[in-house]
Amino acid sequence: MVTFLTYSLLLGYLLLPGLVFGDLAFRCPSCTAEQMVACPKVDAMCSELVREPGCGCCPLCARMEGELCGVYTPRCSTGLRCYPTIDADFPLQQLIQGFGRCGHRDDPEITEIHVSYIVPEVQGTENPLNKRPVVDTWIWQETARKQHQNDCKTKLKTNQEEPRIQRIPQCNMSTHGQRGECWCVNPLTGVQIPTTPKVRGDPNCNQFEEVKNGAKFTQTSLILF
């Protein structure tokens, strides 16, 4: 009895990870006949077909070496991956915007940050829609999206919390498709210059000149978000 119970617990321990992680795998819904019929025709010169990004139903041409690629574009051809350029200041943002480049995985000069699509390698005219992506692709895209949002929040926080870095004029963040209000400030104090209005857009600070301690205040740049 003790032996049977021991083996039962051991078997349950071995099967538990498969049961748990099997439920976590994200599967896209099946494509309907209407969706398949609505797909655009694929170029006859296409050397490799791949599935549409995300849960799309249409086959697309894979991106070849040197072509633009990103998180939301068709994946690169077999043996290639999508990498940001070597001189990219914001690699994740570049990939999100689709300005990466397809390159060989074993290229030592390419940075390690890359887009990896977990999808089957499809050759020729084989239907690329038989298998669906697992959760790994969604997790990577979500991570890239959050990183992009954090970068934007950091820029906004820096603009609000560093009054010693004077900006002429200063502007609020744009919201709901409208530009934020802008106003002219004293470059030494960061305080709004008296009698100057707040306007949406360029307040034309060149017309407001104030002399203080021998300094002349003129417009330098706009802070736009």
Q: Say if strands 181-183 and 199-200 run parallel, antiparallel, or are unpaired.
A: antiparallel
- Does the domain at 165-225 match CATH 4.10.800.10? Answer given as yes
Q: Residue 215: its pLDDT value, please?
A: 42
DSSP notation for 42-107: PPTT-SBEEEPSTT--SEEEPB-TTSEE-TTSPPBPTTEEEE--TT-SSHHHHHHTT-EEEEETT-
- What is the H or E stretch that residue 201 is in? none
Q: Residue 67: its pLDDT value, please?
A: 92
Global pTM reads: 0.39
Residues of the chain with pLDDT under 70: 1-26, 106-170, 172-180, 201, 207-225
Cβ neighbour number for residue 168 with a 10 Å cutoff: 22
Q: Residue 204: its pLDDT value, please?
A: 72
Domain 44-161 CATH class label = few secondary structures
What residue ranges do the domains of the chain occupy? 44-161, 165-225
Q: Residue 22: its pLDDT value, please?
A: 43
Q: Residue 221: its pLDDT value, please?
A: 38
Q: Residue 93: its pLDDT value, please?
A: 86
Structure-block tokens of residue 209 = 């000149």
